[in-house]
Structure 1
């Protein structure tokens, strides 16, 4: 395992034929045009010692694991994201976005890369503090992963020209919302200069400040009189 001085990980989410290919059942209009930027980000991450996670969506042939809200579209759209096929509805990734030795593959059952997956466990084992998000779609899988990452105390970066939506307006407003929630927006050109210290470890900074100020948390008292002390660690 290479040294990872940035303590970061790059996530490539749902960049597979079912979403990227124009004939795919879940096709996203701007996904294909973002492939070169995603490939470049992956190459940069590997060169920097940043572990790369390919987060994929795979559906069973009978559709028993498809989201209930997506099932009608999955049937009508040609049953996308199946591992056994290689056509426009397959889970095959574009050239340059396929795992290499040392990369990780995560299979997610829903939108967020963290929902019922081992991603958080592996990131913590790798001592990762910052996640960098790329892929599709911005309002769904990127956004839910972003919010879960922040909730789990990861510093969260979104590479704006490495993720995609169905329209430019959807892309813009969702990026703005994620920024308001605390995500750091960066483009792939800026990512070329990414290194230790580019992103502040906010959780570590908060802990350091509390220790410096010798802050003692106030207990929480429930209505029945029970006392709960917050666990800072």
Structure 2
């Protein structure tokens, strides 16, 4: 059975080999999706990000059915905060402080973990990262190369920060990326829409974008 697929996308169809494709779910953590977390502490409305949980869950379930490599990322820091740059702490001053879900953006705390609906299962990669991009100071590139991955389906939050940064990093490393538009979200709708355009403009300068329904349709 062929595992070559073509998905309707912008700026043109996205072609991928299922055996060489991974689903990367970025930072679907309580700190960004739940009341009291880092996102809300910065003055954001988390209802704009947690609304995508059902669509991400559908994509995740399909990836599991198809035996795709699944990678979950979590942004956060060591308990002693030794990996928090002063510049980041200055603009996100709540990092490490006590919140309703534990210390904010600190590894091992309840708020740092992935929401219940999208909890990883055995065999899925959970990648802790100290920055916005999933390749920065992590072994993501090594994992992908060891698994012979060439293309990434990218979901998560926030579209204009960690999602877009990761896609740009992946592009520079030779990976082909499809941003799943309805499986990504930003706290501001304009940031989300602008990020979609930035990815697919100029003939797909950083990658492709499409709703996850287009992918699910071809994988049925």
- With the length of structure 2 as denominator, give the TM-score of the two structures: 0.79
Q: Provide the residue aligned with 2:88 in structure 1.
A: 70
Q: In angstroms, what is the RMSD of aligned CA positions? A: 2.0
Give the superposition deviation at 1:107.
Answer: 1.1
Cα gap change, 1:187/1:104 in structure 2, threshold over 3 Å: closer, same or farther? Answer: same
Unaligned runs of 5+ in 1: 196-233
Q: Provide the residue aligned with 2:149 in structure 1.
A: 128
Give the superposition deviation at 1:187.
Answer: 1.0
Give the superposition deviation at 1:82.
Answer: 2.1
Greater relative CO, 1 or 2 (CA 8 Å, sep 6+): 2
Cα gap change, 1:84/1:151 in structure 2, threshold over 3 Å: closer, same or farther? Answer: closer
- 1:69-148 equivalence runs, <5 A: 69-72=87-90, 73-75=92-94, 78=99, 79-86=103-110, 90-148=111-169
Q: Provide the residue aligned with 1:172 in structure 2.
A: 193
Query: The residue matched to 1:18 in structure 2 has which SS?
Result: helix
CA contact under 8 A between 1:136 and 1:163: conserved in structure 2? Answer: yes
- 1:10-89 equivalence runs, <5 A: 10-27=23-40, 29=46, 30-72=48-90, 73-75=92-94, 78=99, 79-86=103-110
CA contact under 8 A between 1:139 and 1:171: conserved in structure 2? Answer: yes
CA contact under 8 A between 2:74 and 2:113: conserved in structure 1? Answer: no
Give the superposition deviation at 1:96.
Answer: 2.5
CA contact under 8 A between 1:74 and 1:80: conserved in structure 2? Answer: no
CA contact under 8 A between 1:25 and 1:74: conserved in structure 2? Answer: no
CA contact under 8 A between 2:167 and 2:206: conserved in structure 1? Answer: no
Number of matched pairs: 190
CA contact under 8 A between 1:67 and 1:110: conserved in structure 2? Answer: no
Give the superposition deviation at 1:194.
Answer: 4.2
Query: Is the strand fraction higher in 1 or 2?
Result: 2
Tell which structure's C-alpha radius of gyration is larger: 1
2:196 pairs with 1:163: no
CA contact under 8 A between 2:180 and 2:209: conserved in structure 1? Answer: yes
CA contact under 8 A between 2:25 and 2:154: conserved in structure 1? Answer: yes
After TM superposition, the structure 1 stretch with the greater mean CA deviation from structure 2, 35-44 or 21-30, is 21-30
- With the length of structure 1 as denominator, give the TM-score of the two structures: 0.75
Unaligned runs of 5+ in 2: 4-16
